[in-house]
Amino acid sequence: MSHEFAVCAYCLNHFFWKETDLPGVERANQDRRLRAGWTKQATDWVCPACEAAGVAIRACPQNQVWETFRWPALSFEDFAGVCGLCRQSFVFSAQEQQHFYEQAAIPLEVVPNNCSACRELVRLQKAAQARLSERLQNPSSAQDYEDIGEIYAGAQRFRKSVEALSRARNLHSDPLQKERLRQRLVQLEGLPDSRQPWPPESSSSNPHFYTQQRRRRADAVHEKRVQLGDRWVLPRPGDTQPRKGT
């Protein structure tokens, strides 16, 4: 198999590769949405030197899902964003992206708006909502009402929590359990309900890394390939420099 020419998006050095160097290219090529020569036109290659230095990691196109992108990702790099919940900056690492887009099969068009800690918080709260919906179907025992009350307490819906725990206390026949729930009610009574949505709603919409970091890299790669006379470079408006080998 012959080697092909590419420019690294991270150091702008050109290098040679073959399809067996990139896992999944051969199977990805079977996708009818990909035009012939897409790997030669892609602008997010990472050379072996940059990969070894940890600048970026090589991607596996066959494991990715994409809808509006022209082709799959060939590499992943760290992406900086601002969490829509805690408003702190966070890094969406290349390793997280690899898991996100290749193992979890989340479409490349999706980018997280929240940091990993807040994403975990939202997942836990959604799971609690699912448990609450299940318990509310047909509660009958003291344990059912106690579970409902504690889920409401975790969501800071204290009025509903007190109502459910009071019913659980009335259903218990064991004096020790009644006393335990009485003490829990003393802790919760009078606490104000939270006005925040449950689960919380993100107030941030981070732009996709393809529209910022990678677009700048793509422009730099395009100019480098024009300088090198790469015949696979697609023309852009305003290009006046002649291309060698065309």
Tens-digit pLDDT profile for residues 200-245? 776 656 666 556 777 788 888 888 888 887 766 666 555 444 334 3
Across the strands, what pairs with 4?
17
pLDDT tens across 116-143, in order?
899 898 999 999 999 999 999 999 999 9
Residue 10 has what pLDDT? 92
Q: Which residue has the tokens 């998006």?
A: 9
C-alpha of 148 from chain center: 31
Half-sphere exposure of 83 (CA within 13 A, CB side): 18
Give the pLDDT mean for 77-96.
88
Residue 24 has what pLDDT? 57
The answer to whether the beta carbons of residues 115 and 88 sit under 8 Å apart is: yes
Axis crossing angle, helix 142-154 with helix 116-135, rounded to the nearest 10: 150
pLDDT tens across 143-201, in order?
999 999 999 999 999 999 999 999 999 999 999 999 999 999 999 999 999 888 887 77
The answer to whether the beta carbons of residues 62 and 236 sit under 8 Å apart is: no
**Mean pLDDT, all residues of the chain:** 82
Give CA–CA dist 174/27, Å, rounded.
65
Residue 208 has what pLDDT? 63
pLDDT of 36 above 70: no
